[in-house]
Amino acid sequence: MLIEATRDHRGAFFLGRGIEELLGERVPLLRVHVIAPFEARAERIARQVSLMPSRAEERVRRSDEENAWFYRYFFHADWTDRGRYGMTLDTAVLTPHECAQKLAHAAAHWTVSVGGSKPPHTSLRHA
C-alpha cells in the first residue's frame, strides 16, 4: 500500500535505515543522509542522556558499527557512501529546524526524472 501511495502521486515519507534498498527503483526517492562528525554526535548524546563522555563515545561507535553491519549484511552496501544519497544534512552545523526547512524546500522542489534515476547530490552543511 505504501508503494502504491507513491506511485499515484499521493506521496509518502519513509524513515529508516535500508528503506531505499527495500524500495529500490520501484518508486522515486529523495534519499537523505543525516550526518555529524563523531565528536559532535558523542557530545550530543552525552548531553541529551547525561552520560559520561566515554560512554557516549562508546554508544556512537557501537551505533556506527551496527549501521555498517546492517548495510553490509542485508544489502552488500556501504551506508557512508555519499553516492547513495541525494542530499546530506550535517547536524553539527545545522539546527534541527534548519534541517527541517532545507528538507521541506528540497522536497517541494524535487522533481523525478524519467527512469527513476537519483537526483544530483546536495550537501547542506551550512545555514
What would the pLDDT profile of 83-117 be if each residue is shown by its tens digit? 888 889 999 999 989 999 998 898 888 765 544 44
Find the CATH number of the domain harbouring 104. 3.40.50.300
Question: What pLDDT score was predicted for residue 121?
Answer: 47
Residue of 47, 43, 12, 50 whose CA lies nearest to 29:
12
Residue 65: give the domain boundaries.
2-124
- The whole-model pTM stands at 0.74
Instruction: Report whether 32 contacts 87 (CB < 8 A).
Output: yes
Number of domains in the chain: 1
Q: Which of 117, 70, 69, 122 is nearest to 99 (CA)?
A: 122
113 exposed, middle or buried (CB, 10 Å; 0-12, 13-18, 19+)? exposed
